[in-house]
Amino acid sequence: MKAAFRRRSIAARLTLMNVLVSSAALLLAFVSFFAYNLISFRQAAVNSLSGEAQIVGANSVSAIIFNDEPTAETTLSALSSSNDVQAAAIYTQPGTAFAQYLRDGNELLQVQPMPANQMQAHWVNGADILVGSRIVFQGKHVGVVYIHAYLHGLRAQALRYAIIAGVILLFCLGVALLVGNVFRELLAEPIVSLADTARLVSRYRDYSLRFAPTQSYNELRLLTEAFNEMLAEIQQRDAALEQARDKLELRVEERTAQLQAANRELEAFSYTVAHDLRGPLDIIRGVEYLLHQSEERALSERGKEMLGRLNTSVTEMSNLIDDLLNLSRATTTGLHSTRLDLSLISSSILDGLAKTNPDREAEIIVQKGCYIYADKGLMQVVMQNLLRNAWKFTGRAHPARIEVCCTKKGSETVYYVRDNGAGFDQALADRLFKPFQRLHAESDFSGTGIGLATVQRIIARHGGAIWADGEVGKGATFYFTLGSSRP
């Protein structure tokens, strides 16, 4: 019942409540009024019957004293004029009636003993009333008169009340329904429409909807207006937010495009510079070579020394240009990833390095079976840079040791190159991968300062990451992963 009531709409609830409340009030009023009426009706009947009993008793004194039952019965039968009286009896001693009157077809009167010290008594059972009255003659108790009456009027009265109550109840229900309808129009329907609109707004996130205005000037109207204002506010903010976002996106795109253009220009410029530098450098190198081949004997010792220095500088410059070209290629060339045997690549590079410095003693450890999915040319550049660095910085270590390994870490494979060379200060680790940043003096270890920057760019292009551990004088380890770019 309660659950069913909860599911109903506000309008139905209001109407139902109206009907329930008014019915309950009416019923209560009727019941109490009816009860009061019943009691007073009965009391009146009891009073009148008691009076009759007294009269009958007084008139029966001589009949009782002189044992004249017929006369007593005649006196009792006078009660027949009252329609409600069903039976009457006079008792001179308990148990047997001295005289009695029974209306046609009525059963013998069942009497109750009179309470002591009481002249009158009555017993009520529904519409049945039994009245007892003591007969006293000259100060002496001579008997008791009992009258049993059935109050026909009571039933008629009850019926009349029930009919009146029913009619008024029906009328009031009608009025309650009518009032309920008025309520529905005035109160419930605006709320229902409010709820509907709110549901639409929250479901479709459509803040352009508006609540229908109500005619009445009350809290509902305030509520509706407040809602509408809120919606307008939300809509305005939404619009502003969207505009700001659009503007921002546009600006970002613009900036990105500018940045990309600038980058491209820069790369093209550096490529062009590097490429164009190569031509004159090749000529210088050629002239130097010719000079070295044909005119060496003609040169003095000082000339030979100068020629050597020229050669060294040209080689350095050539390396620098190569590195620059690699760096610019690292970001511009297309990626053609294949499955590569990193162990094999590392071994061949290390072999090459060992041949260039055959007098160096180095312990080389390359883990077998390290495969990687990456661009072959770029990965070559990466390993060359890393291994050349390791080779270079272990120049003063005896014995030098270089390891190339791979290990699983979660779903990723971490590759690393470890050496026991000069190492670096961990605090400066973030400067390692920036171009032209060098952690060692040129006099200690020569280099261009571009290699690790190139490596970092290539790894980044593959979606991977690179980082390094190191300690001054104890060696360095370069780790890298290629992220999840593998198939």
Partner 1 sequence: MNGDGSIQAFCRSRVTRPRLRRWVALLICLAVFGSAQAQAVYTSYDVEAAYLYNFGKFVYWPDDPSGASTPFTICILGDDPFGEDLNTLVANETIQGRPITTKHLSSASSSDTCQIVFLGLSEQARLAKDLTELSKRPILTVSNLPGFLEYGGVIQFLQQNNRVRFAVNLTPAEQSGLVLSSELLKVAMYVDGKPSTEVKP
Give the residues lining the site for partner 1 (CB under 8 A).
59, 61-63, 65-68, 71, 137-138
Going by C-beta distance under 8 Å and a sequence separation of 6 or more, which residues neighbour residue 114?
Answer: 121, 132, 134, 144
Report, in Å, the least distance between residue 74 CB and partner 1.
8
Report, in Å, the least distance between residue 24 CB and partner 1.
59
Report, in Å, the least distance between residue 120 CB and partner 1.
22
Name which of 63 and 350 has its Cβ closer to partner 1: 63
Report, in Å, the least distance between residue 69 CB and partner 1.
9
Report, in Å, the least distance between residue 116 CB and partner 1.
22
Q: Which single residue is written with the structure tokens 């009179």?
A: 114
Q: Are 213 and 193 in contact (CB under 8 A)?
A: no
CA–CA separation, 219 and 233 (whole Å): 21
Name which of 49 and 61 has its Cβ closer to partner 1: 61
Name which of 88 and 121 has its Cβ closer to partner 1: 88
Name which of 61 and 145 has its Cβ closer to partner 1: 61
**Residue 2 host element (H or E):** helix 2-7
- The closest of 62, 87, 88 to 142, measured between CA atoms, is 62
Helix axes 10-59, 189-204, angle to 10 degrees: 150
CA–CA separation, 51 and 87 (whole Å): 16
Q: Are 86 and 106 in contact (CB under 8 A)?
A: yes
Task: Name residue 462's amino acid.
Answer: H
Name which of 78 and 320 has its Cβ closer to partner 1: 78
Q: Are 323 and 451 in contact (CB under 8 A)?
A: yes
Q: Are 480 and 414 in contact (CB under 8 A)?
A: yes
Report, in Å, the least distance between residue 76 CB and partner 1.
14
Name which of 47 and 62 has its Cβ closer to partner 1: 62
Report, in Å, the least distance between residue 137 CB and partner 1.
7
Name which of 68 and 189 has its Cβ closer to partner 1: 68
Burial of 135 (0-12, 13-18, 19+ CB in 10 A): buried
DSSP per-residue letters across 356-409: HSTT--EEEEE-TT-EEEEEHHHHHHHHHHHHHHHHHHTTT-SSEEEEEEEEEE
Name which of 78 and 291 has its Cβ closer to partner 1: 78
Name which of 71 and 318 has its Cβ closer to partner 1: 71
Report, in Å, the least distance between residue 65 CB and partner 1.
5
Going by C-beta distance under 8 Å and a sequence separation of 6 or more, which residues neighbour residue 435?
Answer: 327, 449, 450, 453
Name which of 60 and 86 has its Cβ closer to partner 1: 60
Conformational region of residue 449, where left means phi above 0, alpha means psi within -120 to 50, and beta covers everything else: left
Report, in Å, the least distance between residue 133 CB and partner 1.
18
Task: Name residue 262's amino acid.
Answer: A
Report, in Å, the least distance between residue 60 CB and partner 1.
9
Conformational region of residue 404, where left means phi above 0, alpha means psi within -120 to 50, and beta covers everything else: beta
